[in-house]
Structure 1
Amino acid sequence: MGCVLQLISSLTVGGSERLLINFAASCTPGEDIPQVFVVINDFFHPDLAAELSATGHPVYFLKRPPGNRNPRVILSLLNIIRRHDIRIIHAHDSGAKHFAMLSKLYRPMSVGYTIHNTGLVNAWDRVKLRLHQRFVDWNIAISAAVERECEAVKLKRLFKVHNGIPLATFDRVARQRRFGSPLRLINVARIYPKQKGQDILIKAVSLCAARGLDIRCDFVGSPPAGDESTLLSLKAQAIAENVADRIRFLCGRTDVCRPLDEADIFVLPSRFEGFGLVLLEAMAVGLPVIAADVDGPAELLVDGSNGIKFKVGSAEDLADKIAALVAQPELAAKIARTAKDFVTEFDIANMRDQYFGIYGQMMKAS
């Protein structure tokens, strides 16, 4: 039958990396379609690497220094492909896609690519688009917003598959939120304000504090590898806004269940977002969520029903929505209950089964 190779550039703390580990854990070695996992670069969190290896699937770390062009890496990848009779490569980022396309030059395989964010395909120039259309046989869009962008550039064999989470893991920590003093906000995202909008949330915390609200906020996430300035800039902003004592940056955390369990409200202030996997995690533990009204989260949230939306980029509107939710604990509890019911359709098993359906189709087609 052959195997599927799951290919990713790095295994640092991030949404696509966590998704891949959860997918691996949802697959039963020896019973499902055989899966092999390869991490290309020498960027991986030891806890995440151990977690992926513990799933029981073949896992390889090529330890390529980023930017290195030594042919040893592609030769090692080709050896893995031959050893496991790989018929399909599923690439999860642009770097992985490039290695998948190179591998296809040496061995006929079906290559697929998951587009994990909005704006990605629109950034390709004509050459990149033609190469993608030539070497990538099928594409997965994680949301309707991403799907629309893919359709606009005429990507072939396009499937929409929502990301999933291991519901049982988050269900175990769900509890009733009490909105005590201090009020605890949480944001879980890569420390990358250009997209994730942490600066907007810091300003909103400052505005809430100025209104007399006893408030704290935890940012759980890490900056991109090699980025040493962004975190310092956000800490400087917190000092300038007089909320440094109300803000914590919890970097390098691979467990989000405990910080989520300790919070009262989850906030996603992204300027753009392909889906919003962390929203599902927050909903699953019973947190009311507030998110910017951008494409991915807008697909998940019905304002006032299973979440609250605020105007993109507006710290003032975000502060208003936080204060309004705190003033209506019954509404917050109702939103959390509705969200918890809503999220049941996003179990990782559903995503896995859709992936397997696509793999079966592509194996037959090739």
Structure 2
Amino acid sequence: MKKKRVLHILNELKASGAETMLYHAASYWADVGIECDILSTGENIGSYAQELKNAGYGVFHLHNNKRPDFFIKLRKLVCEGKYDVIHQHAEAGSYWTILSLSLLSLKIVRTIHSNFIFDGILRFKRKIQRQHLTLLGVQFVSISNSVAKNEFKRFGIETKLVYNWAALDYFNPPTEQERKNARATFGLNDSDIVMVSVGNCAYAKNHEAVLHALAKLSVNQLKYLHVGHEAEDGKEKLLAEKLGVNSKVIFAGKQDPLAALHAADFYVMPSRYEGFSIAALEALSTNLPSIFSDCPGLSDFDSFFPDLLYTDANAGNLHLVISKLIHDRDLYKLRAADYHTIAVEYFSIQKGVASYSALY
């Protein structure tokens, strides 16, 4: 039986979102009769390209400069690659990219990876474009209920729902020895109460809210462990010093987050908005009690994982929620004991690959 060939179109390839999902799913496509390649349309191919090549994908690079030569080269690549399905992930340039391929009689899938809060003329433009592509037969996909609701409310389109997935067989709850080793890695004592967050220090992540909350709490044992790229201007470190909490904060930089998750007592994510956070899913899969802001992309987890704690939308009351969790941390730890099992049931790689296979 001939395998179906799929070309995934993304921006510059980085270790986040759709790229990491594709990386972890690489060995699963063959089981459902699918071969996948990846096209980077960023100015640079991206730092994650080699990992995707090593995983078995064919990886190509065409910079989407919005000029005719890009669309000519794209069409040639698609025809020579004999693809059956185009899977467009990148938001930027997506309309014209899809339109340029619409006469090739291919199945086209367009995944929306975030809650795009476009307003004014840009909202009107995106609405017309999305509705036009829907009329042309493009299948739109949302990664969470909040994204689906946003697409319908803001742009007037119906979407299929396929949740993000994560490498849940890797993000397991720690054994006692694994937890002990992880805490030693970061120089943590048995008496330390450790909250962790994972993600780059971008505006959307709102990490400064954690530092402000830490300054308001008089819990001597409380430590904040952050994994991810720091802001280029070092503003989080400067804020920690200004607030007098720098001795309680560990900026661990970009690294595999598993050890930090195993070292922690609870996870905190005060984002301003998300699509459907893979970092949060990985944390939950290790059975960590978690605190999220009540924002699109994080509020979705509440219907799957019992006893999550939520701040208000801007995380202004984060210190109060942290205090509540610390006071009852044994109870919340007990209630989080089934999080890994829940994650596997609803957000496994196999489930996501099967859902996309059905759409292809």
Give 1:265 shift: 1.2
How many Å separate the matches in 1 of 2:108 and 2:39?
A: 15
Conserved 8 A contact 2:110-2:140: yes
How many Å separate the matches in 2 of 1:320 and 1:125?
A: 37
Q: Deviations over 1:91-130 (max 9, x none)?
A: 1121262463253166343332211122346674323322
Between 1:335-344 and 1:348-357, the stretch displaced more is 335-344
CA distance 1:142–1:87, change in 2 (3 Å): same
How many Å separate the matches in 1 of 2:82 and 2:16?
A: 29
- Segments of 5+ residues of structure 1 without an aligned counterpart are 360-366
How many Å separate the matches in 1 of 2:156 and 2:236?
A: 38
Q: Deviations over 1:106-165 (max 9, x none)?
A: 634333221112234667432332223323511111111111122225655620111111
* Other-structure match for 1:191: 201
Give 1:277 shift: 2.0
Amino acid at match of 2:275: G
* Other-structure match for 1:38: 39
Give 1:334 shift: 1.2
Conserved 8 A contact 2:295-2:313: yes
Conserved 8 A contact 1:307-1:335: no
* Other-structure match for 1:339: 339
CA distance 1:303–1:205, change in 2 (3 Å): farther
Given the alignment, which residue of 131, 150, 170 partners 1:133? 131
How many Å separate the matches in 2 of 1:40 and 1:134?
A: 23
- Segments of 5+ residues of structure 2 without an aligned counterpart are 181-188
Aligned residues: 343
Give 1:323 shift: 2.6
- After TM superposition, the structure 1 = structure 2 runs for residues 247-286 of structure 1, keeping only pairs within 5 Å, are 247-253=249-255, 255-286=256-287
* Residues 1:319 and 2:316 aligned together: no
How many Å separate the matches in 1 of 2:28 and 2:96?
A: 25
* Other-structure match for 1:228: 232
Amino acid at match of 1:135: L
Conserved 8 A contact 1:196-1:269: yes
CA distance 1:314–1:96, change in 2 (3 Å): same
Amino acid at match of 2:52: L
Given the alignment, which residue of 199, 210, 217 partners 1:201? 210
Conserved 8 A contact 1:9-1:96: no
* Other-structure match for 2:185: none
Give 1:357 shift: 0.6
CA distance 1:246–1:44, change in 2 (3 Å): farther
Give 1:324 shift: 2.5
* Other-structure match for 2:161: 160
CA distance 1:348–1:97, change in 2 (3 Å): same
The DSSP-based 3-state class of the residue aligned with 1:312 is coil
Conserved 8 A contact 1:187-1:266: yes
The DSSP-based 3-state class of the residue aligned with 2:298 is helix
- After TM superposition, the structure 1 = structure 2 runs for residues 168-179 of structure 1, keeping only pairs within 5 Å, are 168-171=169-172, 174-175=174-175
* Other-structure match for 2:184: none
How many Å separate the matches in 2 of 1:99 and 1:252?
A: 35
Give 1:170 shift: 1.1
Q: Deviations over 1:221-264 (max 9, x none)?
A: 236xxx734xx2222211111122322334443x2222222222
Q: Deviations over 1:285-342 (max 9, x none)?
A: 1221111122322221269934222222234x32222233223332132132132232
CA distance 1:16–1:322, change in 2 (3 Å): same
* Other-structure match for 2:220: 213
TM-score of the aligned structures, taking structure 1 as reference length: 0.83
* Residues 1:79 and 2:88 aligned together: no
How many Å separate the matches in 2 of 1:283 and 1:43?
A: 33
CA distance 1:319–1:44, change in 2 (3 Å): farther
How many Å separate the matches in 2 of 1:303 and 1:5?
A: 32
Amino acid at match of 2:205: K
Give 1:73 shift: 4.0
Between 1:244-253 and 1:181-190, the stretch displaced more is 244-253
* Other-structure match for 1:328: 328
Give 1:215 shift: 2.4
* Other-structure match for 1:21: 23
CA distance 1:120–1:82, change in 2 (3 Å): farther
* Other-structure match for 2:186: none
CA RMSD in angstroms comes to 2.9
How many Å separate the matches in 2 of 1:79 and 1:262?
A: 50
* Other-structure match for 1:3: 5
The DSSP-based 3-state class of the residue aligned with 2:30 is coil
How many Å separate the matches in 2 of 1:321 and 1:342?
A: 24
How many Å separate the matches in 1 of 2:71 and 2:272?
A: 36
TM-score of the aligned structures, taking structure 2 as reference length: 0.84
Identity %: 21
How many Å separate the matches in 2 of 1:352 and 1:122?
A: 33
Amino acid at match of 1:186: V
How many Å separate the matches in 2 of 1:329 and 1:98?
A: 48
Conserved 8 A contact 1:291-1:309: yes
* Residues 1:97 and 2:94 aligned together: yes
